[in-house]
Amino acid sequence: MNLLILGGTVFLGRHLTEAALARGHHVTLFNRGRHNPELFPETERIRGDRWEDLGLLAGRFWDGVIDTSGHVPRMVHASGERLAAAVQHYTFISSVLAYRDFPKAQGLSEHSPVTTSVDPTAQHPTPQTLGPLKALCEQELQGLLPGRLLIVRAGFLFGPHDPTGRSIYWVQRVAQGGEVLVPGKRDRPVQLIDVRDLAEWILKSIEHRMTGVYNATGPSYPSSLSLERLLQVCKAQSRSDARLTWVDDQFLLKAGVKPVEFPFWMPGAHGGGEIDSNKAIDAGLGFRPIEETVRHILSRNATGQSFTPLRIGIARNREDGLLQAWHAQSVPVG
Protein backbone atom coordinates (compact mmCIF):
# COMPACT_ATOMS: atom_id res chain seq x y z
CA MET A 1 0.00 0.00 0.00
CA ASN A 2 0.89 3.63 -0.43
CA LEU A 3 0.55 5.23 3.02
CA LEU A 4 0.69 8.80 4.27
CA ILE A 5 1.52 9.28 7.95
CA LEU A 6 0.86 12.66 9.53
CA GLY A 7 3.72 12.67 12.03
CA GLY A 8 5.56 9.38 11.97
CA THR A 9 8.76 9.93 13.97
CA VAL A 10 7.63 10.11 17.63
CA PHE A 11 6.63 7.05 19.68
CA LEU A 12 3.51 5.46 18.13
CA GLY A 13 4.15 7.22 14.82
CA ARG A 14 7.72 5.98 14.81
CA HIS A 15 6.63 2.39 15.43
CA LEU A 16 3.89 2.69 12.80
CA THR A 17 6.46 3.81 10.26
CA GLU A 18 8.81 0.96 11.18
CA ALA A 19 5.99 -1.58 10.97
CA ALA A 20 4.72 -0.22 7.65
CA LEU A 21 8.16 -0.38 6.08
CA ALA A 22 8.75 -3.89 7.44
CA ARG A 23 5.46 -4.96 5.84
CA GLY A 24 6.61 -3.65 2.47
CA HIS A 25 4.45 -0.53 2.24
CA HIS A 26 5.53 2.72 0.61
CA VAL A 27 5.45 5.45 3.25
CA THR A 28 5.24 9.22 2.93
CA LEU A 29 5.82 11.23 6.11
CA PHE A 30 4.31 14.70 6.47
CA ASN A 31 5.69 16.58 9.46
CA ARG A 32 7.78 19.60 10.43
CA GLY A 33 11.02 17.65 10.72
CA ARG A 34 11.59 18.77 14.30
CA HIS A 35 11.68 15.34 15.95
CA ASN A 36 14.14 12.63 14.91
CA PRO A 37 14.56 13.98 11.37
CA GLU A 38 17.35 11.48 10.71
CA LEU A 39 14.96 8.53 10.91
CA PHE A 40 13.64 6.60 7.92
CA PRO A 41 15.72 7.94 5.02
CA GLU A 42 14.01 5.35 2.80
CA THR A 43 10.63 7.11 3.13
CA GLU A 44 9.35 10.00 1.09
CA ARG A 45 9.30 13.09 3.29
CA ILE A 46 7.19 16.20 2.92
CA ARG A 47 8.21 18.93 5.34
CA GLY A 48 5.40 21.16 6.43
CA ASP A 49 3.18 22.47 9.23
CA ARG A 50 -0.39 21.16 9.42
CA TRP A 51 -1.65 24.64 10.21
CA GLU A 52 -0.11 26.27 7.15
CA ASP A 53 1.21 23.81 4.60
CA LEU A 54 -1.53 21.30 3.75
CA GLY A 55 -1.31 22.62 0.18
CA LEU A 56 1.88 20.56 -0.15
CA LEU A 57 -0.36 17.45 -0.24
CA ALA A 58 -2.41 18.71 -3.21
CA GLY A 59 -2.58 16.51 -6.28
CA ARG A 60 -1.42 13.39 -4.45
CA PHE A 61 -3.27 10.14 -3.73
CA TRP A 62 -2.71 7.47 -1.07
CA ASP A 63 -4.35 4.19 -0.19
CA GLY A 64 -4.47 5.23 3.43
CA VAL A 65 -3.53 7.97 5.85
CA ILE A 66 -2.68 7.58 9.53
CA ASP A 67 -3.16 10.70 11.60
CA THR A 68 -0.94 10.41 14.67
CA SER A 69 -0.59 14.13 15.35
CA GLY A 70 -4.12 15.55 15.25
CA HIS A 71 -5.16 17.05 18.58
CA VAL A 72 -7.55 19.95 17.90
CA PRO A 73 -10.70 20.06 15.76
CA ARG A 74 -9.77 22.86 13.35
CA MET A 75 -6.48 21.20 12.45
CA VAL A 76 -8.06 17.80 12.00
CA HIS A 77 -10.98 19.20 9.99
CA ALA A 78 -8.57 20.96 7.63
CA SER A 79 -6.54 17.76 7.14
CA GLY A 80 -9.62 15.60 6.65
CA GLU A 81 -11.13 18.05 4.19
CA ARG A 82 -7.91 18.24 2.19
CA LEU A 83 -7.44 14.45 2.11
CA ALA A 84 -11.07 13.31 1.72
CA ALA A 85 -10.71 13.02 -2.04
CA ALA A 86 -7.10 11.84 -1.90
CA VAL A 87 -7.28 8.71 0.29
CA GLN A 88 -9.30 5.52 0.34
CA HIS A 89 -8.99 5.00 4.09
CA TYR A 90 -8.29 7.30 7.06
CA THR A 91 -7.05 6.20 10.50
CA PHE A 92 -7.26 8.65 13.38
CA ILE A 93 -5.39 8.00 16.62
CA SER A 94 -7.68 9.14 19.42
CA SER A 95 -7.58 8.42 23.16
CA VAL A 96 -9.59 6.74 25.92
CA LEU A 97 -9.44 10.17 27.56
CA ALA A 98 -12.32 11.06 25.23
CA TYR A 99 -14.73 9.10 27.44
CA ARG A 100 -16.89 11.23 29.72
CA ASP A 101 -16.52 8.84 32.66
CA PHE A 102 -12.83 7.97 32.31
CA PRO A 103 -11.16 7.00 34.61
CA LYS A 104 -13.90 6.64 37.24
CA ALA A 105 -16.10 4.06 35.52
CA GLN A 106 -15.26 0.43 34.85
CA GLY A 107 -15.79 -1.41 31.59
CA LEU A 108 -15.97 1.61 29.28
CA SER A 109 -16.74 0.39 25.76
CA GLU A 110 -16.96 2.00 22.34
CA HIS A 111 -20.64 2.71 23.10
CA SER A 112 -19.89 4.69 26.27
CA PRO A 113 -20.53 8.45 26.04
CA VAL A 114 -17.66 10.78 25.20
CA THR A 115 -17.24 14.34 26.39
CA THR A 116 -16.99 17.36 24.12
CA SER A 117 -17.32 20.06 26.79
CA VAL A 118 -14.37 22.17 25.72
CA ASP A 119 -13.68 25.23 23.60
CA PRO A 120 -13.53 23.81 20.05
CA THR A 121 -11.37 26.69 18.82
CA ALA A 122 -8.46 25.75 21.11
CA GLN A 123 -5.16 25.38 19.28
CA HIS A 124 -3.11 23.72 22.02
CA PRO A 125 -4.49 20.88 24.19
CA THR A 126 -3.74 20.61 27.89
CA PRO A 127 -3.89 17.43 30.00
CA GLN A 128 -7.41 18.50 31.00
CA THR A 129 -8.69 19.29 27.48
CA LEU A 130 -6.94 16.59 25.43
CA GLY A 131 -9.77 14.06 25.79
CA PRO A 132 -12.68 16.35 24.85
CA LEU A 133 -10.68 17.79 21.95
CA LYS A 134 -9.97 14.29 20.65
CA ALA A 135 -13.71 13.55 20.80
CA LEU A 136 -14.42 16.67 18.75
CA CYS A 137 -11.73 15.66 16.25
CA GLU A 138 -13.47 12.30 15.85
CA GLN A 139 -16.75 14.06 15.08
CA GLU A 140 -15.13 16.25 12.45
CA LEU A 141 -13.70 13.25 10.62
CA GLN A 142 -16.89 11.21 10.89
CA GLY A 143 -18.65 13.96 8.98
CA LEU A 144 -15.96 14.17 6.30
CA LEU A 145 -15.10 10.49 5.75
CA PRO A 146 -18.17 8.33 6.35
CA GLY A 147 -17.50 4.66 5.69
CA ARG A 148 -13.73 5.16 5.36
CA LEU A 149 -12.70 6.05 8.91
CA LEU A 150 -10.97 3.95 11.56
CA ILE A 151 -10.82 5.59 15.01
CA VAL A 152 -8.38 4.04 17.49
CA ARG A 153 -8.93 5.11 21.09
CA ALA A 154 -5.56 4.27 22.59
CA GLY A 155 -4.82 3.88 26.28
CA PHE A 156 -1.49 3.92 28.11
CA LEU A 157 1.25 3.05 25.62
CA PHE A 158 4.30 1.29 27.00
CA GLY A 159 7.59 0.54 25.32
CA PRO A 160 10.76 1.85 23.68
CA HIS A 161 11.22 5.45 22.49
CA ASP A 162 8.56 6.86 24.82
CA PRO A 163 9.20 10.65 24.74
CA THR A 164 7.18 11.20 27.92
CA GLY A 165 9.49 9.02 29.99
CA ARG A 166 6.40 7.33 31.45
CA SER A 167 7.46 3.89 30.21
CA ILE A 168 10.89 4.22 31.78
CA TYR A 169 10.03 5.45 35.28
CA TRP A 170 8.92 2.30 37.09
CA VAL A 171 11.25 0.00 35.14
CA GLN A 172 14.28 2.07 35.98
CA ARG A 173 13.27 3.13 39.49
CA VAL A 174 12.81 -0.49 40.55
CA ALA A 175 16.07 -1.44 38.86
CA GLN A 176 17.87 1.19 40.95
CA GLY A 177 16.88 -0.77 44.06
CA GLY A 178 16.43 0.27 47.65
CA GLU A 179 13.10 1.22 49.17
CA VAL A 180 10.62 2.25 46.47
CA LEU A 181 7.52 4.28 47.25
CA VAL A 182 4.48 2.92 45.41
CA PRO A 183 1.15 4.77 45.60
CA GLY A 184 -2.22 3.12 46.22
CA LYS A 185 -3.22 -0.53 46.43
CA ARG A 186 -1.26 -3.56 45.31
CA ASP A 187 -4.05 -4.99 43.18
CA ARG A 188 -4.91 -1.78 41.33
CA PRO A 189 -5.25 -2.65 37.62
CA VAL A 190 -2.90 -1.00 35.14
CA GLN A 191 -3.89 -1.37 31.51
CA LEU A 192 -0.80 -1.07 29.32
CA ILE A 193 -0.19 -2.00 25.72
CA ASP A 194 3.22 -2.37 24.10
CA VAL A 195 3.37 0.36 21.48
CA ARG A 196 4.72 -2.14 18.94
CA ASP A 197 1.70 -4.41 19.38
CA LEU A 198 -0.61 -1.47 18.76
CA ALA A 199 1.32 -0.38 15.67
CA GLU A 200 1.18 -3.87 14.15
CA TRP A 201 -2.55 -4.15 14.78
CA ILE A 202 -3.25 -0.74 13.26
CA LEU A 203 -1.35 -1.68 10.09
CA LYS A 204 -3.23 -4.98 9.79
CA SER A 205 -6.52 -3.15 10.34
CA ILE A 206 -5.70 -0.71 7.54
CA GLU A 207 -4.75 -3.56 5.21
CA HIS A 208 -8.20 -5.08 5.85
CA ARG A 209 -9.92 -1.67 5.47
CA MET A 210 -11.45 -1.87 8.94
CA THR A 211 -13.66 1.05 9.95
CA GLY A 212 -15.43 2.20 13.08
CA VAL A 213 -14.30 2.93 16.64
CA TYR A 214 -12.02 0.59 18.59
CA ASN A 215 -10.60 0.81 22.09
CA ALA A 216 -6.99 -0.32 21.89
CA THR A 217 -5.30 -0.75 25.22
CA GLY A 218 -4.23 -3.68 27.35
CA PRO A 219 -6.51 -6.58 28.28
CA SER A 220 -9.12 -5.97 30.96
CA TYR A 221 -10.28 -8.08 33.89
CA PRO A 222 -9.58 -10.95 34.56
CA SER A 223 -6.41 -10.72 32.45
CA SER A 224 -5.50 -7.14 33.34
CA LEU A 225 -2.13 -6.31 34.82
CA SER A 226 -1.88 -5.08 38.41
CA LEU A 227 0.65 -2.46 39.42
CA GLU A 228 2.20 -4.97 41.82
CA ARG A 229 2.62 -7.50 39.02
CA LEU A 230 4.26 -4.87 36.80
CA LEU A 231 6.72 -3.91 39.55
CA GLN A 232 7.52 -7.53 40.37
CA VAL A 233 8.32 -8.10 36.69
CA CYS A 234 10.57 -5.01 36.75
CA LYS A 235 12.31 -6.39 39.84
CA ALA A 236 12.83 -9.86 38.37
CA GLN A 237 14.06 -8.61 34.99
CA SER A 238 16.55 -6.19 36.54
CA ARG A 239 17.55 -8.57 39.37
CA SER A 240 17.01 -5.70 41.75
CA ASP A 241 16.96 -5.68 45.55
CA ALA A 242 14.09 -3.16 45.51
CA ARG A 243 11.73 -3.15 48.50
CA LEU A 244 8.24 -1.95 47.58
CA THR A 245 6.47 0.20 50.18
CA TRP A 246 2.78 0.80 49.41
CA VAL A 247 1.59 4.21 50.57
CA ASP A 248 -2.04 5.27 50.95
CA ASP A 249 -3.46 7.62 48.29
CA GLN A 250 -4.90 10.04 50.82
CA PHE A 251 -1.57 10.33 52.66
CA LEU A 252 0.15 11.30 49.42
CA LEU A 253 -2.54 13.74 48.36
CA LYS A 254 -2.45 15.44 51.77
CA ALA A 255 1.32 15.73 51.38
CA GLY A 256 0.78 17.64 48.14
CA VAL A 257 1.87 14.88 45.78
CA LYS A 258 0.38 15.29 42.30
CA PRO A 259 -0.70 12.31 40.18
CA VAL A 260 1.78 13.27 37.45
CA GLU A 261 4.62 12.48 39.87
CA PHE A 262 3.89 8.76 39.63
CA PRO A 263 3.16 7.35 36.17
CA PHE A 264 -0.11 5.39 35.95
CA TRP A 265 -1.27 6.68 39.35
CA MET A 266 -4.92 7.78 39.24
CA PRO A 267 -6.04 8.27 42.87
CA GLY A 268 -9.72 7.60 43.42
CA ALA A 269 -10.16 6.13 39.95
CA HIS A 270 -11.49 2.61 40.11
CA GLY A 271 -11.88 2.01 36.39
CA GLY A 272 -8.68 3.44 34.96
CA GLY A 273 -7.35 -0.01 34.19
CA GLU A 274 -10.63 -1.49 33.04
CA ILE A 275 -11.29 -0.20 29.53
CA ASP A 276 -13.09 -2.81 27.42
CA SER A 277 -10.85 -3.63 24.44
CA ASN A 278 -12.61 -6.86 23.50
CA LYS A 279 -13.79 -5.50 20.15
CA ALA A 280 -10.18 -4.90 19.07
CA ILE A 281 -9.04 -8.20 20.58
CA ASP A 282 -11.70 -10.01 18.57
CA ALA A 283 -10.35 -8.16 15.52
CA GLY A 284 -6.83 -9.49 16.09
CA LEU A 285 -5.22 -7.21 18.68
CA GLY A 286 -2.65 -9.25 20.60
CA PHE A 287 -0.24 -8.64 23.44
CA ARG A 288 3.34 -9.74 23.96
CA PRO A 289 4.40 -10.73 27.51
CA ILE A 290 5.04 -7.76 29.79
CA GLU A 291 8.41 -9.36 30.61
CA GLU A 292 9.54 -8.83 27.03
CA THR A 293 8.59 -5.15 27.06
CA VAL A 294 10.30 -4.50 30.40
CA ARG A 295 13.41 -6.32 29.24
CA HIS A 296 13.55 -4.21 26.07
CA ILE A 297 13.15 -0.94 28.00
CA LEU A 298 15.93 -1.99 30.40
CA SER A 299 18.30 -2.85 27.56
CA ARG A 300 17.76 0.53 25.90
CA ASN A 301 18.04 2.67 29.03
CA ALA A 302 20.84 1.15 31.06
CA THR A 303 24.49 0.36 30.45
CA GLY A 304 26.16 -1.51 33.27
CA GLN A 305 25.19 0.33 36.43
CA SER A 306 24.46 3.61 34.63
CA PHE A 307 20.86 4.59 33.83
CA THR A 308 19.27 7.19 31.61
CA PRO A 309 18.37 10.26 33.75
CA LEU A 310 14.65 10.17 34.52
CA ARG A 311 12.71 13.06 32.98
CA ILE A 312 9.52 12.48 34.94
CA GLY A 313 8.53 10.97 38.26
CA ILE A 314 9.07 12.03 41.82
CA ALA A 315 12.52 13.28 42.84
CA ARG A 316 14.50 10.84 44.98
CA ASN A 317 14.96 13.24 47.90
CA ARG A 318 11.21 13.92 47.92
CA GLU A 319 10.50 10.19 47.74
CA ASP A 320 12.82 9.57 50.70
CA GLY A 321 11.13 12.29 52.75
CA LEU A 322 7.68 10.89 52.06
CA LEU A 323 8.80 7.41 53.03
CA GLN A 324 10.20 8.70 56.31
CA ALA A 325 6.95 10.52 57.05
CA TRP A 326 4.89 7.45 56.17
CA HIS A 327 6.91 5.18 58.43
CA ALA A 328 6.81 7.73 61.29
CA GLN A 329 3.02 8.01 61.25
CA SER A 330 2.71 4.23 60.99
CA VAL A 331 4.62 3.62 64.24
CA PRO A 332 2.29 2.82 67.18
CA VAL A 333 2.37 5.40 69.99
CA GLY A 334 2.65 4.49 73.70
- Any domain includes 202: no
Instruction: Please indicate, yes or no, whether residues 126 and 54 belong to a single structural domain of this protein.
Output: yes
Instruction: Please indicate, yes or no, whether residues 234 and 180 belong to a single structural domain of this protein.
Output: yes
Instruction: Please indicate, yes or no, whether residues 42 and 103 belong to a single structural domain of this protein.
Output: yes
% of the chain residues with pLDDT over 90: 83
Residue 52 has pLDDT above 60, yes or no: yes
- Any domain includes 333: no
Total domains in the chain come to 2
Instruction: Please indicate, yes or no, whether residues 32 and 127 belong to a single structural domain of this protein.
Output: yes
pTM of the model as a whole:
0.94
**Which CATH number does the domain housing residue 232 bear?**
3.90.25
Note the pLDDT tens digit of each residue in 108-166.
999 999 999 999 999 899 989 999 999 999 999 999 999 999 999 999 999 999 998 89
- Any domain includes 212: no
From the list 264, 251, 220, the residue with the least C-alpha distance to 105 is 220
In this prediction, residue 334 carries a pLDDT of 37
How far is Cα 196 from Cα 299, in angstroms, rounded to an integer? 16
In three-state form (DSSP H/G/I as H, E/B as E, the rest C), the secondary structure along 255-315 is CCCCHHHCCCCCCCCCCCCCCCCHHHHHCCCCCCCHHHHHHHHHHHHEECCEECCCCCCCC
Note the pLDDT tens digit of each residue in 296-334.
999 887 654 556 677 789 999 999 999 999 999 865 543
Residue at a domain's end among 126, 154, 182: 154
Residue 219 has pLDDT above 90, yes or no: no
The radius of gyration of the chain from alpha carbons, rounded to an integer in Å, stands at 21
Domain residue limits at 228: 166-190+224-269+289-327
